[in-house]
A = this chain, B = another copy of it.
């Protein structure tokens, strides 16, 4: 097996979207990743239904869920805030399930990379999370500037983080050091 590149970072937050009708997440002190993601989260499930993000399948088709966990970097959130001219953009507002610090270019992490936790749990990066319009509305509301809603997608382009799926279940805790392993190594 070819040697994998490795890079360290810190898991700064673990968050869950468990409020009816909302994608906004709230922080957890500790969480257990299971096959399918974070139990109780709106994206939890080993399989999911094809939607606008998988136009190659008829809407509603049962497919494997590759969008179980969404992850942002704190540094990229700061860049989005700067691009919008506001003080901050919280991971919660983006519906992120995890935030990391110390790995700036998270959005460019290649699909197939692994994110490994001290419990032994592991995620597989499924690719870039392309920005949609909804977080823009939340940011506009929090900042009191309605014009920001339309600016979010451009400001967040290539900074929106990644989506991942659980390869190996286990506990995850804010503050822990994580390992990021680049492919190849399937």
Contacts and interface: CB of A to CB of B under 8 A. Distances in A.
Given A46-B46, A66-B186, A53 B166 contact: no
Nearest to A132: B1
Interface residues of A, number: 42
Nearest to A50: B168
B167 A129 contact: no
A83 interface: no
Interface string A53-68: 1111110011110110
A56 B186 contact: no
A35 interface: yes
Contacts of A55: 1, 185
A61 B112 contact: no
A111 B1 contact: no
A133 B53 CA distance: 40
Contacts of A61: 120, 168
Contacts of A62: 168
Nearest to A163: B186
A110 B109 CA distance: 13
15 contacts: A35-B47, A35-B64, A53-B185, A53-B186, A54-B185, A56-B122, A61-B120, A61-B168, A64-B167, A111-B183, A126-B186, A127-B183, A127-B184, A128-B186, A163-B186
